[in-house]
Amino acid sequence: MAEIIIPSVLAGQANGQRRFDAKGETVGEALRALPVADLIFDARGEWSRHLNVYIDGEDARERGGLECPLTGIREVTIIAMLAGG
């Protein structure tokens, strides 16, 4: 079963939990099942442009994005992008 790892900045909204068992058939279904889904997705249902999603270390966009099947995946990692000025 795949594991989902969320960044510390989101974990505060999940009672400090950073690791979750993936539930669903696709990466998108698994991310939408997380208790912080409202922080991951925007109003159009796309993942926030301030977050990057990696599937077994590879950019999710290169693996079919949210439609990527969870079969055979070990880890989905969400990384918060930092900006400064």
CA distances from 84 to 32, 81 (A): 29, 10
Write out the CATH class of domain 3-80. alpha beta
Question: Nearest to residue 52, comparing CAs of 42, 41, 43, 60?
Answer: 60
Ramachandran angles phi, psi of 72, nearest 5°: 80, 0
The domain locations on the chain are: 3-80
State pLDDT tens for residues 28-84: 999 999 999 999 998 898 888 889 999 999 999 999 999 999 999 999 999 998 766
What is the pLDDT at residue 47? 86
Question: Nearest to residue 22, comparing CAs of 53, 45, 44, 51?
Answer: 53
What is the pLDDT at residue 84? 60
pLDDT value at 85 more than 60: no
Q: What is the mean pLDDT of residues 18-34?
A: 96
What is the pLDDT at residue 49? 86
